[in-house]
Structures are given as structure tokens and as C-alpha cells.
Amino acid sequence: GPKVLQIPSHQIIDMGQMVTLNCDPVSNHLYFYWYKQILGQQMEFLVNFYNGKVMEKSKLFKDQFSVERPDGSYFTLKIQPTALEDSAVYFCASSLAAGDSQNTLYFGAGTRLSVL
């Protein structure tokens, strides 16, 4: 089936540093998402992105977070500066559309971020 690739699978970083998580979404998809999962808990919505713009973000999407997809390349989540509570698995997802059956989300395998 359609695949979303996330790079790297695991990132270890010192608190205060910047980190960029990369996502290669399904090639013809138009909507992109980031979700956060703390170990043992449910996935929580961070942000969705369409046509070069953030459409909606949750309260978990702090000012230190930003997303972009320059020139149709990777969809990225940047955290600058990182904090200890940012340690989690970050899942990228994409969908063809929103609002009908084409908005089935396809998730990547996640990037485990460890902030020390």
C-alpha cells in the first residue's frame, strides 16, 4: 500500500538544540499531518498542513514548533529549541484529501525523539 517514510527513525539530542524531523509523504497526497505519541499513551494531533499553510494546530504545537514543505520535498517538523518534554515518538501522516473517503490517513513508522 501507500507508504510514508520518516527519517531518521531515532534521534537523540541535547536539550536546547534544534532538531528537524523529516517526512516523505505519499507522492500524490495533498494533506500532511504531525502527531505526537508519548510512550504508552495515545497519539495526539499536533498540526495539519495543506497548500503550503498550517490549517489547524493543537495546543501541543508550541511556538518552538514549525512545519514546512519547501518545493514539494520533505514535510518537516522543526523544534527550536528542544525541551525535555518534547521526548516522544512523532508520527507523520498524509492523505489525498479531507472531508471524504479520500482522507484516509497513512502514517509513517515514526521518529523517536529523545531529548537529554
Partner 1 sequence: GDQVKQSPSALSLQEGTNSALRCNFSIATTTVQWFLQNPRGSLMNLFYLVPGTKENGRLKSTFNSKESYSTLHIRDAQLEDSGTYFCAAEDDSGYNKLTFGKGTVLLVSP
Q: State the residues that interact with partner 1 by CB under 8 A.
A: 31, 33, 35, 41-45, 48, 50, 55-56, 58, 89, 91, 95, 98-99, 101, 103-107, 109-110, 112
Placement of cell 505526537 in the chain: 36
- Residue pair 94/4 in contact by the 8 Å Cβ criterion: yes
Q: Shortest Cβ distance from residue 81 to partner 1 (Å)?
A: 26
Q: What's the CA gap between 103 and 33, in Å, rounded?
A: 12
Which residue's CB is nearer to partner 1, number 81 or number 107? 107
Which residue's CB is nearer to partner 1, number 13 or number 43? 43
Q: Shortest Cβ distance from residue 27 to partner 1 (Å)?
A: 17
Which residue's CB is nearer to partner 1, number 19 or number 29? 29
Q: Shortest Cβ distance from residue 16 to partner 1 (Å)?
A: 27
What is the DSSP secondary-structure string of 19-74?
Answer: EEEEEE--TT--EEEEEEE-TTS-EEEEEEEETTEEEEE-TTS-TTEEEE-GGGS-
Size of the chain, expressed as the number of residues it contains: 116
Q: What's the CA gap between 5 and 45, in Å, rounded?
A: 19
Which residue's CB is nearer to partner 1, number 82 or number 95? 95
Q: Shortest Cβ distance from residue 35 to partner 1 (Å)?
A: 8
